[in-house]
Amino acid sequence: MSKRTIVAMPGDGIGKNVLEEAIRVLEAAGFEANYVEGDIGWEFWKKEGNPLPDRTLKLLEEHKIGLFGAITSKPKDAAAEELAPELRDKGLVYSSPIVGLRQHFGLDICLRPCRTYKGNPLNFIRRGPNDTIEEPKIDVAIFRQNTEGLYGGVEWSNPPKEVHDTLMTHPKFKKNFGDVPKEEISVSTRIFTKKATERILRAAFDYAKDNGYKSVTVCEKPNVIRETSGMMFKMAQEIKDKDYPDIELWNTNIDAQMMWLTKNPENYGVIVAGNMFGDIVSDGFAGLIGGLGFACSAQMNPDSGVAVFEPTHGSAPKYADYDISITNPIAMMESACMMLDFIKEDEIAKKIRTAIAEVIAEGKVQTYDMKKMRGKPDVVKNGAASTTEMADAIIAKMK
């Protein structure tokens, strides 16, 4: 049988460091694959005016599966200033290449699991009865609609006349903004479609059913954002009643959820939300399991089979310049395990996760974040594990 080909996209900053170590762990665990590098990120924006070249899209169209490191994004004006001189004043506008990947391939289902590792010194703790200290076990799977909502990219500054005229037909817009000069208005849309909303809801319910979760929580804001959030919860009720009668359906507002996740996070199972609120609540839960060094994600289109797996942390470019890489690579390794789940390499995924759990529980090898150090170049000299040393420890456990 020929080896599977994986499109490896290091991206920017620490993306290269963590991706290299994740691939090394995959190989040590017995996963055999060919890796082809896909160009993506800030350097290609600066040199080519396109952070997501067509050649990378073609690689993913051919091979389907991608491992992605991290991306750098900057505001509009800063992005324009860093373009190569010959590309300036040509109307080029920077947009996030990871958002571009999602929209090009319809990667509308985003899964971000947040699970505590026993012994992680960064796990959430709270005060219990009689001044006891409790460390609740967190096991939450967050489904984020990935291609619509506030990240859909339908927005304007100084909207065109036809857009402004249409907005003026809405009585609330006319009342609250009708006297504001058009050139002083910026508009970002929040668009939900029934097709995509049903798809993410069913993905969440299926996951709950297949993995033994008792509840699905719709985390939106239907009391205020009545049309989009309201549609999602109404559809969830209909889907639950028809096809998932044994799974409880809960409804939380995003603001209340962010309070409750530090009061009773162990109560939640599967959470589903639109793009922005899914992004927020997944980072909130990631903070309870150790932060972004442990936060992994999958972005999938089950119809086409295209899927991209990435940690949710940023590119942290200052860390990439250190002589010794200090970044925690576990989020990238967990993302690689999600890739293995997707392609049905369950035993290899289990092998890696078990090794990660053993290293964390043992507590002898900890990156600077686990030791609660500031991310300075000298942390390795002061006892923190480097990115490579953490990977070495995990590989040693698999042997």
List pLDDT tens digits, range 162-208: 999 999 999 999 999 999 999 999 999 999 999 999 999 999 999 99
What is the percent of the chain where pLDDT is above 70?
A: 100
CB contact at 8 A, 340 and 349 = yes
Domain ranges of the chain: 1-108+297-399, 124-151+190-288, 155-188
Helix axis angle for 387-398 and 330-342, nearest 10°, is 50
- pLDDT score at 68: 97
State the DSSP code for 151.
Answer: T
What tokens were used for 56?
A: 């990378």
Structure tokens at 93: 């506008």
Q: What is the pTM of this model?
A: 0.93
DSSP code per residue over 4-65: EEEEEEEESTTHHHHHHHHHHHHHHTT--EEEEEPP-SHHHHHHHS-SS-HHHHHHHHHH-E
Nearest to 370 by CA among 137, 71, 117: 117
Q: Fold match between 1-108+297-399 and 124-151+190-288?
A: yes
Confidence of residue 233 (pLDDT cuts 50, 70, 90): very high
Instruction: List Cβ neighbours of 204 (8 Å cut-off, separation of 6 or more).
Output: 141, 143, 216, 270, 271, 272
Contacts of 118 (CB under 8 A, 6+ apart): 357, 360, 361
Q: Which fold has domain 124-151+190-288?
A: Isopropylmalate Dehydrogenase (3.40.718)
| Predicted local confidence at residue 318, as pLDDT | 87
For the stretch 349-368, pLDDT in tens is 999 999 999 999 999 999 99
For domain 1-108+297-399, the CATH class is alpha beta
